[in-house]
Amino acid sequence: MTSLSNASLYASAHISFTLSFVKNKITTSSTAEYFSKNLQQVGFSSANKAVLTTLKESVDNSLDACEDAGILPEISVEIEKQGAGTHKNTDLIRLRVTDNGPGLSPDDLPRVYGEYLASSKFGRGRASRGQQGIGISAATTWAQLTSTRGANIISKTKKMRKAVSGVVEVDIKKNKGVFKNSKTISWDRPHGVSVEFFFDGRLQLNGEGGVLTYLIGSSIVNPHLKLSYKINDDDWIVFERLSKHNIEIPPAVQPHPHTMKLGEYVGHLSLFGKAPFRNFLKKAFSRVSDQTIKAFVKNGIPKALLNKAANSLSNEDIKKTFSAIQNTDVMSPSTKSVLRIGEDALSKSIQRVGDVDFFSVVSRKPKICDAKPVVIEVALARLENSKEEEKSVTVLRFANRVPLQFDKSACAIVKAIESVNWRSYGLSQPRNSLPQGPYIFAISLVSPFIKFKNASKETVDGSNELVEEIRLALMQAGQRLARHIKREKKEAELENKRRHIEQFGPILIDILGRISKVPNTRLDKARKGLMKILGRDADTTAAQLKLAEKKQAEAKIKAEERAKKAAESKTKKKKSKK
């Protein structure tokens, strides 16, 4: 049992401690100590990234808190430069995020803002933005390291008569949050949290790592969010919410038996103590029924083991049961845990990217990729009056409704875009590259188990299965776009033809008459003949345009019918639940 116990220990402990060798003596460092020395791993690798990561972690926390409590989120962001930073080429940045969430009790404040891996969401199998409880503590650490100031917090829950304010600092040696200068104050809101950081950073507004790119991106994938922001001395900008329906938080699901490693399996098993092994199988995993257990037995789990206490299984039994489970076909995991933005909401929010003259939105049904549920949603928007025909399209990537802003080229989403032949949809595209033109491609990926390439969650690591699913969504959106482009082309062609008839017909006849010196009566006849010829041409194009319009209208009706059916089945499900 010893070796397996160690394995489970390592697996469950993750990165909660590191070993360092000092003069042949093995010492243990705290998680906070590890991260304070490796902040680049969690998004603090440059001054620009520091601003963006601090903003991102604060806003993500606020959104998750509001959605958990069933509150329509209202978030305000203030960012300003306050002089020079302590490091070369940096500014002292003040960043404040205030929400209308449920608020945090004074006891929870130091844990949330000052303790690493203190999370309410870790391993719960939910598609929430935050997962491990690292990000916001890292932001506090960065502020502490660069400006010697922790996070200034104001918090008020519904139960509290007055708000509490104070400073949270990270006790790096002990990985503990410390709440200092605590005092009660009056606050003009019933509940919520306001967090303020002072730190070294550099403010980038636009582009891949820009804060505006992040804020606009967030508003696209969170149509229920009311977001106001103020940057430096500029006026407040407000994005009103486009949907008054709060996000329905999907239930957390138990892990699927095929997604576990042996070490995790052992750790999981030990939690069930003396409970029978059969109960462990049924309760610890999703998609395990009596029928499935029968199949496990067929594949090598001794029947006698099913009634044995979970903690009494020998090493050999554990290995045997684990491999029997892996060798049995188990129903794919449920897709209930993933959340869709929906075509309607996405259609409204995509218009926030600028003057959009056409958009195409696709929301795929949840699908299982690599034994994990995932939903892909795509919005393609064309910007009006943009002359950037030869520039690559702008790609907005989202994972669990959080914009991803760095290391674009390595991302599975970008790989999927590049793998589509956009030329067949009317866009220009250099070989193996992003398509070109004044388009915004927004792709959202939601899953409780997204594989990121790094802890700072900048790039999605995708299997072929996931890339293919994204590709399918893009192609669907591309087809809709192509129908529109085709119709536009036909329209332009017809217009062009009509213009040509009016412009060139009379000139051609006049000159022909001057060279050939024929009488006017013959020229009039020729003029009429020419109009007939050109008119026939224009009529053909008009008929083609009509057909293209008809096809587009049919596709629209079909899409509406699909949306209607989906809404009806949703209502039915709700009613049956009640």
Partner 1 sequence: MSKNKIGRNQDIPKLSKELCLHMIKDLEKAKKPVLKALKCSLDNAFYDAKTGYLTPGEKQVSTELNVSSVQKMSRAIFYLEILLENLKSGAVRTKRELYYVAKGLCKHDKKLKPLDFGSQEESDSIINFICELIECYREEINCIANDRGGQTYSNNLVVTEKLLDGTKATVDLSSMGTSAFQPKNKPQSFTLKPKKSTKPKFCLIVESEGTANTLVANGFIKRNNAIVMGAQGVPSNAVRSWAKCISDQLKIPMYFFGDLDAYTVQNIYRTLKAGSAASLLRNSDFSCPEVRFLGVLPKDIEKYDLSDYKVDPKDPKDARTLKKAQDALNNDPFFKDKKNKGVTQILKWLLKHKRRCEQQAFIMVDPKDPIAIEKIILEKIKKGDWIS
List contacts with partner 1 (CB under 8 A): 496-497, 500-501, 503-518, 522-523, 525-530, 532-534, 537-538, 541
User: Are the CB atoms for 144 and 122 separated by under 8 Å?
Assistant: no
User: Least distance to partner 1 from the beta carbon of 525, Å?
Assistant: 5
Nearest CB to partner 1, comparing residues 15 and 526: 526
User: Least distance to partner 1 from the beta carbon of 510, Å?
Assistant: 8
Nearest CB to partner 1, comparing residues 86 and 516: 516
Nearest to 41 by CA among 132, 150, 123, 120: 132
Alpha carbon of residue 295 to chain centroid: 37
Nearest CB to partner 1, comparing residues 26 and 507: 507
User: Least distance to partner 1 from the beta carbon of 365, Å?
Assistant: 45
Nearest CB to partner 1, comparing residues 531 and 566: 531
User: Are the CB atoms for 223 and 345 separated by under 8 Å?
Assistant: yes
Q: What residues have CB less than 8 Å from 157, skipping those under 6 apart?
A: 102, 103, 104, 105, 191
The residue whose two tokens read 């509940």 is 191
Nearest CB to partner 1, comparing residues 212 and 538: 538
User: Least distance to partner 1 from the beta carbon of 73, Å?
Assistant: 54
Q: What residue type is assigned to position 225 of the chain?
A: L
User: Least distance to partner 1 from the beta carbon of 499, Å?
Assistant: 9
Q: Are strands 394-399 and 402-404 parallel, antiparallel or unpaired?
A: antiparallel
Nearest CB to partner 1, comparing residues 6 and 503: 503
The residue whose two tokens read 């050939």 is 516
DSSP letter string, 300-311: T--GGGGGSBGG
CA–CA separation, 166 and 148 (whole Å)? 15
Nearest CB to partner 1, comparing residues 276 and 505: 505
Nearest CB to partner 1, comparing residues 522 and 565: 522
Q: Is residue 274 classed as helix, strand or coil in its secondary structure?
A: coil
User: Least distance to partner 1 from the beta carbon of 132, Å?
Assistant: 52
- Report which DSSP code applies to 450: -
User: Least distance to partner 1 from the beta carbon of 389, Å?
Assistant: 18
DSSP H stretches of helix in 259-339? 262-270, 277-284, 290-298, 315-326
**For the chain, give me the number of helices (H) and strands (E)?**
14, 16
Q: What residue type is assigned to position 239 of the chain?
A: F
Nearest CB to partner 1, comparing residues 297 and 501: 501
Nearest CB to partner 1, comparing residues 336 and 525: 525
Buried b (16+ CB within 10 A) or exposed e, 95-109: bbbbbbbbbbebebb
User: Least distance to partner 1 from the beta carbon of 503, Å?
Assistant: 4
CA–CA separation, 425 and 486 (whole Å)? 9
User: Least distance to partner 1 from the beta carbon of 550, Å?
Assistant: 23
The residue whose two tokens read 């008839």 is 501
Helix (H) or strand (E) holding 559: helix 520-577
Nearest CB to partner 1, comparing residues 212 and 530: 530
Largest CA distance in the chain: 112
User: Least distance to partner 1 from the beta carbon of 431, Å?
Assistant: 17
374, with CB counted inside 10 A (0-12, 13-18, 19+), is: buried
User: Least distance to partner 1 from the beta carbon of 505, Å?
Assistant: 7
